Amino acid sequence: MSVTTVPFVQARNYTGGRANAIDVLVIHTMESPEKPDTAESVAAWFAGSTAPQASAHYCIDGNSIVQCVRDEDVAWHAPGANHNGLGFEHAGRAAQTAHDWSDDYSLACLELSAELVARKCEEHHIPVVWLQSADLRAGRRGITGHVQVSDAFKRSDHRDPGTSFPVQRYLALVRASMGTAWVPPAEHRGKDKAPSQDPTLKQGANGYQVTRLQRLLAQRGFDPGAADGDFGPGTLRAVQAAQTAHGLDADGIAGPLTWHALLAG
C-alpha cells in the first residue's frame, strides 16, 4: 500500500483544531498482537462506542495504515506533547525484544511507518533526530517515543515503544524514505527548536504572550482576572495555583514546564 491512500476513520475522542505548530512525532506501540488487521481493529476501537479516552493520528500494522485523527486536530496520545505532536501507533508491544522487532511483520510495519513519518518530516520541516526527554523539555523538534514524553512531562506512565525499539534503524529508514528531501539535522537552520511558543514570563511582563497566558489560565480554571496583557498579582496567583495543581514548583514564573502543563491540560 502507499501512504498517499490512507483510509480515515474518525476517532471518538480528540480535540478539534490546534493552536501550535507540529514539532514532535511520537512513536507508540498499540500493545496489540501483530495481525494483518491490527490497525483497522484499533482504529475501529478508537471510533466505537467503547472508545478509550485516547486516540492517535495514525495506526500502522504490517500491511496498512489507518488515519484516526486529522493532523489539524489534537489526538490524545502522549500528554505533554499532544498540543504540538502527531501520534503514530504501531502493532506490537513495548515488551518486544530486538529479535521481535526484526521479524518480517515488524520490518514491514516499520518500513510503512518510516515512509509516513518521512512525509510528515518533510511537510513540517522536522529534523530526523531522536529526542530524549531533556530535548523535549528544551523544546527541540524531532521524533521521539511515548516513554520520552512520559519522562519529560510526568503526565503519563506509558513506557512504549519499549527499550528494544530499533531507534537507529528506524531513523535510517525515515532518512532513506526522504531521499533527496532529507536535510542533515544541523542544517535545519533555526528549525531544530520550536519558535518560542512558551516564553518565560513573570510578574511585571506585558504584551500578547501575557494575554495568551492569561487566556490559557482562565480556560484551565485558574482565574487571572482580566486578560489585559499585564502580568500583575492576579496573574501571579493564577500561575501559582496552576503550578500547584500540576505538581510544579509554585514560583509564579511561567516557564516551559508551566506552559506545557497548561497547554496539555
The footprint of Zn ion (CB under 5 A) covers 28, 146, 158, 160
Reference 235, options 216, 249, 256, 263; nearest CA is 216
Residue 141 or residue 158: which is nearer to Zn ion going by CB?
Answer: 158
Q: Give the amino acid at 110.
A: L
- Minimum CB distance to Zn ion, residue 19 (Å): 23
The strand pair at 85-90 and 24-29 is best described as parallel
- Minimum CB distance to Zn ion, residue 164 (Å): 15
Residue 83 or residue 146: which is nearer to Zn ion going by CB?
Answer: 146
Angle between helices 256-264 and 146-153 (to 10 degrees): 120
Which segments within 22-145 are labelled E, that is strand?
A: 24-29, 58-60, 65-67, 74-75, 85-90, 142-145
- Minimum CB distance to Zn ion, residue 4 (Å): 26
For CA atoms 117, 123, 129, 132, the dihedral sign is: negative
- Minimum CB distance to Zn ion, residue 50 (Å): 19
Phi, psi (rounded to 5 degrees) for 238? -65, -40
Residue 54 or residue 254: which is nearer to Zn ion going by CB?
Answer: 54
- Minimum CB distance to Zn ion, residue 11 (Å): 14
Residue 115 or residue 160: which is nearer to Zn ion going by CB?
Answer: 160
For 45, the grid coordinates are 476501537
Whether the Cβ atoms of residue 55 and residue 13 lie closer than 8 Å to each other: yes
Residue 64 or residue 144: which is nearer to Zn ion going by CB?
Answer: 144
